Amino acid sequence: MTEEEKGECEGKHVLDPIRYGTSFNPSVDKILYWRDYLKIFQHPAFSLTQQSPFLQIGFRKQITEIALEYSKSTREVMKEIVRGISESLGLEDKYIEKASNLENCLQIMIANLYPSCPQPELAMGLPAHSDHGLLTLLIQNDTVGLQVLHKDKWVNIHPIPNSFLANIGDHIEILSNRKYKSVLHRAVVNDRDVRISIALAHGPAAEAAVSPAPMLLEDGQNPLAYRAMKYKEYIWFLFIKNVIIVFEFIIHPQTSIINNTSTHYTFPLHRRRQRTLSQPLCVAFVSLPMATTAPTGSPLSQPSLTHPPPPRKLTTVKVLSESPGVSSIPSIYTFPKQTYHEPVSDTKEPIPTIDFSLLTSSHPDQRSKTIRELGIACRDWGFFMVTNHGVPERMMEAIIEVCREFFELPEEEKRGIGGKHVLDPIRFGTSFNESVDEILCWRDYVKIFQHPEFHSPNKPPSFSLGLEKDYIDETLNLENGLQLIAANLYPPCPQPELAMGLPPHSDHGLLTLLIQNQVGGLQVQHKGKWVNIDPIPHSFLANIGDHIEILSNGKYKSVLHRAVVNNRDVRISIAVPHGPALDAIVSPASKFVENVGNPPAYGAMKYKEYLELQQGTMLNGKSCLERIRNRV
C-alpha cells in the first residue's frame, strides 16, 4: 500500500479500534523507534468486519477469517495457561478471570514491522518495557530481534517454529502482588533483514480495577504492593505519558526523516537517563479525567488530557529502511548504549517449556507435575514456551503470512484504517506510542481486538497459585475478557546496535501467547540478565502479565522483556494478549492477603483504566505497575 493509503488507517486515539503508525507515540516522542505497526482490537468487539474501512482499502476477507479463527484458538490456549498460573499462586483457577472480568477482556492483535536499519547500533525497534496486560502470545518470522532481561542481562530470544512466546504482563504482577513479575523486553534491529512479529495481547476488561489478590496478602509477610487502578486508565496513562523512558530534555520540532535531516532518531547520550530496577518511580497516583463519549467503534469511553499532545506525522520504519541510499538512522531512533544495549547473557539455562497436552491431561499426576512446572516458570522467568497446544501449524503460518502481506501494502492504505485510542478495535502504527515517544522504536505494528464479541473461552488458568480451579475465571469475568492480536514488523536496521524494536516492559493483562517467524529478537530478563529466546517451531511463547502479579499479590511476577533488531532479516511476531473484562476491578486474591503480615501489595483498579494508563505513555519497564503498588 502507498503511504497515503495507509495514512487513511491512522487512528486518532489510543483506544481507536484500528491504528496504523510508526514509533510508539510520535506526537510526543522525542526520539523515535525504528518500527511501524498496525493495531486492531479483537475483543470485546471484533474490528475486522466486511464493513470495516480497513477491509475496503484492501485488507481482504482472508485476514478476517484467519484473525477470527486465530484469536479463538489462542484464547483456548490462554485459558488453560492462566488457570494454571492462578493455581500456581494458590488461588482458585478462575480467580483471575473474575477479578479481571475476562468476559469483556481486552484482546489486541499487534503486527510489528522492523525494517533493516542502516545504523542498528544506534536505533531501537522498541526500548525495554513490560506489557501492560495479563498475558501476551507472540509469533514472528525467522529474524532475531527480541531480547528479554534475565538475571540482569539481555538475552536474545530466537524464534522456534510453530511455537508461541508467552510473556507475563503488568497486571499479572499486580494480581500476584509481585510474586510473578512482568518481564522487561525490547526489540533490537539489524541492517540486513526485515523482522515481523505478531503479538496477541490479553488484558482485563477496560473498566476492571485491578489490584493484588487478597489471598496473597494473608500471611502478614507480603504487604500490598500495588493500588487498584482501572485498566483503561493504566493504558491511557502509558500512552499519553509515554513511560517507556524518562528523559531530561524536551521534544524537538518535527523535521524530515527520509532525508536524514531529523535529529529524532538519535539519542543524545549525555542528556538521558533511565530508572534502574532498584529505583522506584516516585510519582503520585492520580485519577485521570474521562471524556463523555467513546471513539467511534470503541467499546470504551476514553480519558482525555487537558492539553493533549499535538499529532505528529511519522514515516514508518519500513519506508525508512527502504529509502534509496540509506546508510544511517535518524538520531531520534538512536538509543544510549549505556542504558539500552547492555551485553546479552550467554547463559546455557534454557527458557522453560510447558507441554500443553499435559496441562490439559486427564491424568492427575501429569497435570499436577505440569502445574508445578508452570508455577516455577512464572516465578523464575515469567516467560515460557508452550508446545503441543493443538493450534494447527497451517493457521500459525497463515497468520504470519497475512500480516506480512499487510505490511507490504502501500503506506496510504495502511494509514487509512484509523485508530488513535489505545482501546480502538484496530490500530496501525510505528514505534510504541509515537505521540509521546522520546526515542522511536524500530518497529511497525497492527493491533486488532479479538474478544469478547464472540464470547470465546478466555478463562486464564489458576491451579499453580493454589487457588480454586475457576477462581481467576469467575473473579475476572473471563467470558467477557479482552483478547487482541498484535502483529509486529521489525525490518532490518542499518544500525541495530543503536536501535530497539521495543524497550524493556511487562505486559498488561493476564497471559500473552506469542508466535513468530524464525528470526530471533525477543529477549527476556531473567535473574537480572537479558536472555535470548529462540523460536521453537509451532510452539507458543507464553508470558505472565501484570494482572497475574496483582492477583497473586506479587507471588508471580510479570516478566520484563524487549525486542532487539538486526541488519539482515525481517522479524515478524504475532502476540495474543488476554486480559480480564474491561470493567473488571482487579486486586490481590483474598487468600494471599488474609494474614496480618501480608497486606495487599497492589491497589484495586479497573482493567480498562490500567490499560489506558499503560498504553497512554512511553514504555518504561514496569512503571505503570509501580504506580498502583501500595507503599509500606
DSSP three-state, residue 420? coil
Who has greater pLDDT, 625 or 262? 625
Please tell me the predicted confidence (pLDDT) of residue 75: 79
CB 250 within 8 A of CB 627: no
Please tell me the predicted confidence (pLDDT) of residue 72: 78
State the distance between the two ends of the chain, measured CA to CA, in whole angstroms: 53
pLDDT tens sequence across 387-425: 898 988 888 888 888 888 888 888 877 777 666 776 677
Please tell me the predicted confidence (pLDDT) of residue 303: 39
Please tell me the predicted confidence (pLDDT) of residue 341: 60
Please tell me the predicted confidence (pLDDT) of residue 103: 77
Who has greater pLDDT, 471 or 305? 471
Region of poorest pLDDT, from 95-109, 220-234, 274-288, 419-433: 274-288
pLDDT tens sequence across 140-199: 888 999 999 888 888 888 888 778 899 999 999 999 999 999 989 999 888 888 888 888
With a CB cutoff of 8 Å and minimum separation 6, the contacts of 443 are 33, 34, 35, 36, 37, 112, 113, 114, 125, 126, 187, 189, 197, 317, 430, 431, 432, 488, 489, 490, 501, 502, 563, 565
Give the Cα separation of 430 and 143 in Å (integer): 18
C-alpha distances in Å from residue 341, one per residue of 128, 324, 580: 10, 28, 34
The whole model's pTM is what?
0.63
Region of poorest pLDDT, from 27-31, 348-352, 583-587, 599-603: 27-31
How many CB atoms sit inside 10 A of residue 77's CB?
28
Please tell me the predicted confidence (pLDDT) of residue 9: 61
C-alpha distances in Å from residue 518, one per residue of 145, 512, 527, 572, 617: 10, 19, 26, 9, 31
Average pLDDT over residues 277-281: 25
CB 583 within 8 A of CB 100: no
| E strand or H helix at 375 | helix 364-380
Three state DSSP letters for 556-596: CECCEEEECCCCCECEEEEEEEECCCCCCEECCCCCECCCC
Please tell me the predicted confidence (pLDDT) of residue 4: 64
CA 433 to chain centre: 12
With a CB cutoff of 8 Å and minimum separation 6, the contacts of 541 are 137, 138, 157, 160, 163, 164, 165, 166, 167, 351, 383, 384, 385, 386, 513, 514, 515, 516, 522, 533, 535
Question: Which grid coordinates are listed for 8?
Answer: 487513511
Domains defined along the chain, listed by start:
3-203+239-303+321-578 (2.60.120.330)
Who has greater pLDDT, 366 or 43? 366
From 150, 146, 186, 140, select the one nearest 441 (Cα to Cα). Answer: 186
Who has greater pLDDT, 360 or 467? 360
How many CB atoms sit inside 10 A of residue 441's CB?
50
Task: Name the average pLDDT for the chain.
Answer: 76
Please tell me the predicted confidence (pLDDT) of residue 277: 25
Where residue 271 falls among pLDDT bands split at 50, 70, 90?
A: very low
Average pLDDT over residues 321-345: 77
C-alpha distances in Å from residue 192, one per residue of 17, 117, 170, 258, 320: 33, 7, 33, 18, 14
Q: Residue count of the chain, please give it.
A: 632
